Amino acid sequence: MRPEVAGVSVPQDDVDAIVALVARVEHAQQHADADEFLRVFREDTIWTTAHGKRLIGLDEIGTFTRAVLPPTAAQPVTATYEAQYILFIRPDVAAVKIRQRPVTRDGHPLDEIFHGHADPAALAAEKPDAVPGTPLYVLAKDGGEWKVAAAQNTKVIDPDVLAKR
């Protein structure tokens, strides 16, 4: 699926490059590859994890990532990442809304259990691995390459959103 694109006009190559960056994040996460993951960040990036941990700069993000990402390789759950909406604030700055879906290693989406459920919040407490995420990346284009300048990775906890996704 192609993302919705808004804001200032940019070449299609920039949209494609951002979609490719998101695909690299997905690949790095699914393969627990910290080095690949870290290549999408600027040196001065600020990032807040889905659990609220604030990380500033590539060194701090790297220390955290190298500690938490490699052990996920053995877990039965990973995630898919899809750029759903790209707002080009300037030709070299974009805000990207991501759909992050937990999936089994063979690609089965886990968040479908919430669709139409009578009490999705209670179900989320029982099945935290099935809760989707809704990251926001702010990207900057430096030297012709898009990189993450700031990111907020947020878990979906709103019962109405869980039930409809």
The domains of the chain are located at: 4-164
* Span 58-104, pLDDT tens digits: 999 999 999 999 989 989 999 999 999 999 999 999 999 999 999 99
CA distance 95 to 113: 29
What class has domain 4-164? alpha beta
* Span 10-58, pLDDT tens digits: 999 999 999 999 999 999 999 999 999 999 999 999 999 988 999 999 9
Structure tokens at 113: 């259990």
| 123 confidence band (pLDDT: 50, 70, 90) | confident
Concatenate the DSSP letters of all residues of 118-142 into one string: S-HHHHHHH-GGG--B--EEEEEEE
Question: pTM of the prediction?
Answer: 0.91
- Evaluate whether 114 touches 88 at the Cβ level (below 8 Å): no
- Evaluate whether 33 touches 27 at the Cβ level (below 8 Å): yes
